[in-house]
Structure 1
Amino acid sequence: MSVQSVLSLLIEVRENVDCKYLAWYGEAVVMGKEHDIEPSVPRTCGRQRNRCNVPGETPDVYFQRALCIPYIDELISGINDRFSSLSKTAVMALVLIPEMTIKKQHANVILENLKAFLDFYNSDLPSPCGIPSEVDRYKSAELGLLVGQVYCSLVV
C-alpha cells in the first residue's frame, strides 16, 4: 500500500468521520462495559488551560470532537510532513540497492527512477554525468556475481 493511498484513505475517513466514529465508539462502549466502565463527559469549566474543553452534550459527541477528529487531522498532517516531495525524491535512490537493481531488468528503468533524485542532488554529486555508466557497470557486476563470475574492481 503506497503512502498516497493511505493518505487518501485517511482523508476519506476524515470526510466521513460521523459514520466511522459511531462504529468505533460502539466498540469502545462494549469494551468498557466488560470492565464496568460507563462513558462520561469530563467536567468542563469556563476557562480550561490543560486539556481540551470542546462543548459536547453526550460522551460520544465530546470524544468525537476532542479525540477522534484531532487525531485523524494529526495523522494526515504527519504523513504530509513526513512524506514531502523532498523525501519522495530521496527515496528514489533506493533503486541502487543491489536487490532492487537485480529485480530491474534494464538499466534504463533504474535511470528513469533516479532522474528526479539526480536532478535534485546534481550539485552534490562529484560527477553526475557518469551516473548512467556507473549504473550499467554496477548492474553488470551484480548480475555477473549471480551467475558465478568473479569481478574485481580496483579503486584508484
Structure 2
Amino acid sequence: MCFTTVHHYFGYFSGLSKKLQGSSIDIIQAYDLVENVKELVDQARNDESIYDKVFDRATQMGNSANLPSLQPPRQCSCQTQRSNVPSTCPKAYFKRALYLPFVDAMVTQILGPFASSQEPPSLTEESVDTILSYYRPDLPSPTTFHQELALWQQLWNR
C-alpha cells in the first residue's frame, strides 16, 4: 500500500493514540474521541478524491521504477484460491481488492477494542445478584450496590 494512504489514515490515529496514552482522559472522553476518529476515517474511506490520489501516486511510483502499468490479474468464473474481485478497470480492481480491505483492517485493529457496536450484555436481576454475591467481600459498601449500578447504567445510557 502506498505511503500516501498510510500517512493519511495514520494522521487521524496519531493524535488519538497520544490522548489515549495520557493520564488526563476519562473513559467517556476516550469513547467520544474514538467515535469522532472513526467517523472521520469512514468519511475519508468513502471519499473518491483520496483514493484517486493514492492510485495516482502508486502509478507514479511504479512508472518511476520502470514497472509495467498496473493491471488486475485475469479473472476466472470459478476462482477458489485468490480474490476474484469484479471490476471494469485497474483502478476499480485495486480499490476493491487492496485499498478498502487495507483501510478496514487498519480501523478494526486500532479501533476494535472501542467498537460502538459491541453492546454490553443486559443485566438481569439474577445476574446482578450473582455479581453482588461474588464481589460482596471486596465492595466497600455492598448495601448501595444496586444504587451504584443504577447510576452507572444511567451514565452509560447518556
Higher relative contact order (CA 8 A, sep 6+): 2
Q: Quote the residue 2:60 is aligned against.
A: 30
- How far, CA to CA, are the matches of 1:13 and 1:31 in structure 2? 22
- Taking the aligned partners of 1:20 and 1:125, their CA distance within structure 2 comes to 54
Question: Which is higher, the Rg of structure 1 or of structure 2?
Answer: 1
Matches within 5 A, 1:129-144: 129=140
Distance apart, 1:126 and its partner CA: 4.4
CA–CA distance in structure 2, aligned partners of residues 127 and 20 of structure 1 = 53
Q: 1:125 to 1:7 in 2, by over 3 A?
A: farther
Checking the alignment, whether the CA contact within 8 Å between 1:11 and 1:76 is kept in structure 2 is no
> Partners in 2 of 1:128 and 1:32 — Cα distance?
63
Q: Which amino acid aligns with 2:43?
A: E
Change (3 A) 1:84 1:59: closer
Q: 1:11 to 1:35 in 2, by over 3 A?
A: same
Out of 23-32 and 66-75, give the one that drifted further. 66-75
What per-residue deviation string (whole Å, max 9, x for no partner) do you get for residues 103-134 of structure 1? Answer: xxxxxxxxxxxxxxxxxx8754743327xxxx
Normalising to structure 1: TM-score of the pair? 0.50
Letter of the aligned partner of 1:3 in structure 2?
Answer: V
The reply on whether 1:47 has 2:78 as its aligned counterpart is: yes
Measured after TM superposition, the shift of residue 84 of structure 1 is 4.2
Shift of 1:31: 0.8
**Paired residue for 2:40?**
9
Query: How far off its partner does 1:44 sit?
Result: 1.0
Where structure 1 has 5 or more consecutive residues not aligned to the other structure, the ranges are: 88-120, 131-156
The answer to whether the Cα contact below 8 Å between 1:7 and 1:79 also exists between their aligned partners in 2 is no
Describe the superposition over 1:22-44 as per-residue Cα deviations: whole angstroms up to 9, x where unpaired: 00001101111111112111111
1:61 partnered with 2:92 = yes
CA distance in 2 between partners of 1:12 and 1:124 (Å): 44
Matched pairs, number: 96
Shift of 1:79: 4.4
TM-score (norm 2): 0.50
CA distance in structure 2 between the aligned counterparts of 1:84 and 1:40, rounded to whole angstroms: 36
What's the CA shift string for 1:7-54, capped at 9, x where partnerless?
1222112332x2211000011011111111121111111111121111
Identity of aligned residues (%): 29
Partners in 2 of 1:13 and 1:74 — Cα distance? 15
Q: What one-letter code is carried by the residue in structure 2 that aligns with 1:128?
A: L
Where structure 2 has 5 or more consecutive residues not aligned to the other structure, the ranges are 1-15, 17-32, 119-130, 142-158
